[in-house]
Amino acid sequence: MNARDERPFKRSRRNVMRSLVGGVSAGLLPRIVPADASEKMTRAQAQYQDAPNGIYSCGLCTLFERPNACKVVEGEVSKDGWCKAFALAD
């Protein structure tokens, strides 16, 4: 009889679920971390324009950071500008 036979491997559903949830959470962590400046889009990539798109402007966007920055577009942006990353608050 070897050591493996003496101590059977116990794996409960609870332990399996903890492992799965921990692995999934760790996999999502890099996506939750805010973007560095180098990971932001250029104004050209975002198709940024200094004028609003109809009634939509950076000042209404959830990504806009007062007074003149954006979470996803590098450089200064105007509160009256607009880009394709526009996200209206719910």
Tokens standing for residue 77 = 């942006």
Stretch 3-18: mean pLDDT, rounded? 63
Helices (H), the chain: 3-6, 13-32
Q: How confident is the model at residue 43 (pLDDT cuts 50, 70, 90)?
A: very high
Parent domain of 11: 3-70
Decide if 87 is inside a domain: no
Decide if 79 is inside a domain: no
pLDDT of residue 89: 80
Decide if 58 is inside a domain: yes
What's the total number of domains in the chain? 1
Q: How many CB atoms neighbour CB 5 within 10 A?
A: 7
Decide if 7 is inside a domain: yes
Q: How confident is the model at residue 13 (pLDDT cuts 50, 70, 90)?
A: confident
pLDDT per position as a tens digit, 50-79: 999 999 999 999 999 999 999 999 999 999
